[in-house]
Structure 1
Amino acid sequence: MNRSLKSATFLLRSALLSHSSKSFSADALVPEYSRGEIGCVFGIPDEHLRRKAEENKVESIKRDKAAIENFLQKTIEKHQAELARQKEHYTNALSAAKEAEALAEAQANTEARTELESRLREPDALLLAVTVNKL
């Protein structure tokens, strides 16, 4: 019996030593995978990780695109408002200039008419004076 006890102890000891230190640590809780699953991270297949990475890239690009579109829309609206303000300013200035031009032209016409009328009266006055002197 002594011999069978020694044999059983030897078998138990060799079985314990054949297992790695993983068997007695927290790493033992991570399941072992077959050779085809070497690219796995914590049990997640490599294909799934690649797909998730691509989905994250797509979502990031979509968020960036939306942010850029929003920025561009706000910039366009800001510039359109500025252009509308400038257009209104210059339209008002043009209207004021046209009005001033019309007033200046009317005043010049009035002055010219007055001048012309006064010149036209002068010969009548001279003619009248000459006629009165002759009499």
Structure 2
Amino acid sequence: YKRGDYVPGLKVDGMDVPAVKQACKFAKDHALKNGPIILEMDTYRYHGHSMSDPGSTYRTRDEISGVRQERDPIERVRKLILSHDISTEKELKDIEKEVRKEVDEAITKAKECSMPDPSELFTNVYVKGLGTEAFGPDRKELRATLP
């Protein structure tokens, strides 16, 4: 898992939250000291790629539910937290309820916002305040295709 002979890489179980955290920490430290690194996160996609691909033509329901039961990252972390007495079931349910409320409020707020002006498309995309650091079509070319 590397690009050419000069960029090292790691393959990580993307369904294992502690492994992902550790790999990201390692990659950050490596990148700051030695340069780029590639991370391949091996995950399971529960749904198809789009509405026209429900994902049920090439996988069985048993396969999908089996992966959910055995490898679901959220459930694995929940079990880890409970088994190490970090939180109780009630505390986790309270957190989930609070997070769902926060997400619902954010969705409501986003739906109430007006659409930004197309000239803002590249603003703060990569680094806050710099605005135009995008590769690809220049802004004039892109503006011609925006409504």
TM-score band, normalised by shorter chain: under 0.3
**Higher relative contact order (Cα pairs below 8 Å, separated by 6+ residues):** 2
Query: Normalized per residue, which structure has more strand?
Result: 2
**TM-score, normalised on structure 2?**
0.21
Say which structure is richer in helix: 1
